[in-house]
């Protein structure tokens, strides 16, 4: 058996990927049923279990209602839990993920005898993870056997304890200190070294020789370089979620405007009759009040519609800009995909370009779906034609 590497680094933090709610191209779905689930708990339920009692104790000491905490997760991150990691204002994360792997696809590919031993080692490592790390509450953990190499995704919430204020919190630095890894930036590195040694000893016990750590999950990066790359991905995903939320809000506003227009049509159905005093008509008090209310709403609706048209115009411009950016990135990536000997820096550039392109394509696709659903397709086509005319005139 050849020497193998051990990789323990920060993962992407995507529960939809880990739990196979969606499947990527590199996944063999015929083997997904072989994946091993160690823990699967709803993130909201995990937060309530960990911090619910602490919030109750804290609120009991507060005389002012504006200082009391409602939902702890929303208190920290200003939104409901999602399947992806959310980063708060103080760089606090909604949960953390570690990705653990033995060997590579070249020496420990799924289905080989070596991979079977690796699965045993990773299982033993995972079974002892919670006991070794009492301040890291594991709410989701799975071993993927439907990709090229067996590997673990371990998702956990760090728990720290305090003497003042909320006595139990999501606190990575405090959790590391309570587990004996000290303070400061080096604490997380000390923890990773400790976990690396645990897995190293397990591998030796199973007859696997381990080389010194040089790579991080198939890339020629150090663990810290890989972490920086993942941080960039998380930032792009956060931007994508924000745009999706904006699109959803705009769609909801459009729906309300359409409802108001349909109610205005009810005026035509109000029964009227001529008065003896000429061509005037008489209405009941109730019908008169209905007309007055609908007229007021029509005025407000007109203002809202004008605002939405302005927002839609900005959206169309943003979509057009994304189309141009996709074309630009595609051309740049074509250069990187030419056969060549890449340096580490060029590999990082290629990975970043691919990540940005995929995120941009996703934004563009969602924007186009929204345009189609909201009936803005013809307006977008007119916008493109006018844009091309102006561009041609300028040229």
260 half-sphere exposure, CB direction, 13 A CA radius: 19
Confidence check: pLDDT of 25 > 70:
yes
> What is residue 357's predicted lDDT score, i.e. its pLDDT?
74
Instruction: Based on the fold, state whether residues 197 and 312 are members of the same structural domain.
Output: no
Length of the chain: 395
Instruction: Based on the fold, state whether residues 159 and 250 are members of the same structural domain.
Output: no
Report the range of poorest mean pLDDT among 38-52, 303-317, 332-346.
Answer: 332-346
Structural domains of the chain, count: 2
Counting runs of H as helices and runs of E as strands, what totals does the chain give? 11, 8
Q: Among 218, 249, 269, where does a domain finish?
A: 218
Instruction: Based on the fold, state whether residues 333 and 184 are members of the same structural domain.
Output: no
The CATH number for 15's domain is 3.30.930.30
Instruction: Based on the fold, state whether residues 164 and 311 are members of the same structural domain.
Output: no
Residue 290 falls inside a structural domain: no
> What is residue 285's predicted lDDT score, i.e. its pLDDT?
66
> From CA 138, how far away is CA 11, in angstroms rounded?
14
Overall pTM surpassing 0.75 (yes/no): no
Instruction: Based on the fold, state whether residues 54 and 165 are members of the same structural domain.
Output: yes
Residues 238-272: tens digit of each pLDDT = 556 666 666 666 667 666 666 655 555 555 555 55
Q: What's the mean per-residue pLDDT of the chain? A: 80
Confidence check: pLDDT of 230 > 60:
no
> From CA 269, how far away is CA 272, in angstroms rounded?
9
Residue 230 falls inside a structural domain: no
Residue 270 falls inside a structural domain: no
Is residue 94 within 8 A of residue 77, CB to CB? The reply is yes
pLDDT above 90: percentage of residues in the chain? 47
Average pLDDT over residues 28-49: 96
Instruction: Based on the fold, state whether residues 254 and 139 are members of the same structural domain.
Output: no
Return the sign of the alpha-carbon dihedral for residues 251, 254, 255, 256.
Answer: positive
Residue 383 falls inside a structural domain: yes
Domain that holds residue 165: 6-218
Which CA distances in Å does 323 have to 61, 88, 328?
54, 31, 9
Residue 227 falls inside a structural domain: no
**Confidence category of residue 132, pLDDT binned at 50, 70, 90:** very high
Instruction: Based on the fold, state whether residues 207 and 244 are members of the same structural domain.
Output: no
Most confident of 13-22, 217-226, 366-375: 13-22
Instruction: Based on the fold, state whether residues 126 and 203 are members of the same structural domain.
Output: yes
Q: Concatenate the DSSP letters of all residues of 190-251 into one string.
A: HHHHHHHHHHHHHHHHTT--BPPP--BTTBS--HHHHHHHHHHHHHHHHHHHHHHHHHHHHH
**Confidence category of residue 35, pLDDT binned at 50, 70, 90:** very high
Residue 16 or residue 364, greater confidence: 16
Confidence check: pLDDT of 31 > 80:
yes
Residue 193 falls inside a structural domain: yes
Instruction: Based on the fold, state whether residues 187 and 308 are members of the same structural domain.
Output: no
> What is residue 344's predicted lDDT score, i.e. its pLDDT?
66
CA-angle at 85, arms to 347 and 185, nearest 5°: 70
Give the max Cα distance, the chain.
Answer: 106
Residue 387 falls inside a structural domain: yes
Residue 265 falls inside a structural domain: no
> What is residue 68's predicted lDDT score, i.e. its pLDDT?
95
Instruction: Based on the fold, state whether residues 315 and 204 are members of the same structural domain.
Output: no
Residues 281-303: tens digit of each pLDDT = 555 666 666 666 776 666 766 66
Instruction: Based on the fold, state whether residues 248 and 194 are members of the same structural domain.
Output: no
Instruction: Based on the fold, state whether residues 23 and 136 are members of the same structural domain.
Output: yes
> What is residue 338's predicted lDDT score, i.e. its pLDDT?
54
């Amino acid at each position: 058996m050849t020497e193998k590497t051990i990789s323990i680094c920060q993962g992407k933090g995507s529960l939809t990927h880990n739990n196979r709610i969606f499947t990527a191209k590199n996944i063999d779905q015929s083997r997904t049923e072989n994946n091993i689930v160690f823990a699967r708990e709803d993130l909201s339920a995990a937060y309530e279990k960990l911090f619910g009692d602490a919030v109750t104790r804290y609120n009991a000491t507060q005389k002012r209602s504006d200082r009391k905490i409602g939902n702890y997760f929303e208190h920290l991150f200003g939104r409901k839990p999602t399947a992806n990691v959310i980063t708060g204002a103080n760089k606090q994360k909604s949960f953390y993920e570690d990705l653990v792997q033995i060997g590579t696809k070249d020496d420990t590919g799924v289905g080989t005898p070596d991979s079977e031993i690796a699965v045993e080692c990773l299982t033993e490592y995972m079974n002892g993870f919670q006991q070794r790390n009492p301040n890291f509450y594991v709410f989701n953990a799975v071993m993927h056997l439907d990709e090229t190499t067996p590997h673990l995704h371990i998702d956990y919430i760090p728990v720290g304890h305090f003497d003042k204020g909320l006595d139990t919190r999501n606190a990575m630095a405090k959790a590391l200190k309570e587990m004996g890894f000290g303070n400061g930036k080096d604490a997380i590195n000390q923890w990773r070294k400790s976990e690396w040694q645990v897995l190293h000893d397990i591998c030796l016990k199973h007859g696997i020789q381990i080389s010194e750590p040089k790579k991080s999950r198939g890339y020629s990066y150090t663990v810290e370089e890989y972490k920086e790359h993942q941080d960039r991905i998380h930032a792009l995903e956060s931007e994508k979620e924000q745009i999706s939320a904006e699109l959803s809000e705009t769609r909801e506003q459009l729906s309300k405007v359409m409802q108001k227009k349909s109610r205005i049509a009810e005026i035509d159905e109000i029964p009227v009759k001529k008065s003896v005093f000429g061509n005037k008509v008489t209405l009941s008090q109730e019908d008169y009040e209905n007309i007055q209310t609908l007229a007021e709403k029509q005025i407000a609706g007109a203002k809202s519609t004008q605002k939405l048209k302005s927002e839609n115009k900005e959206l169309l411009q943003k979509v057009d800009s994304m189309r141009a950016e996709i074309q630009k990135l595609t051309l740049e990536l074509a250069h990187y995909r030419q056969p060549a000997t890449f340096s580490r820096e060029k590999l990082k550039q290629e990975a970043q370009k691919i990540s940005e392109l995929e995120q941009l394509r996703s934004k563009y696709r969602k924007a186009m779906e929204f345009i189609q659903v909201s009936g803005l397709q013809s307006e977008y086509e007119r916008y493109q034609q006018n844009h091309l005319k102006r561009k041609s005139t300028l040229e």
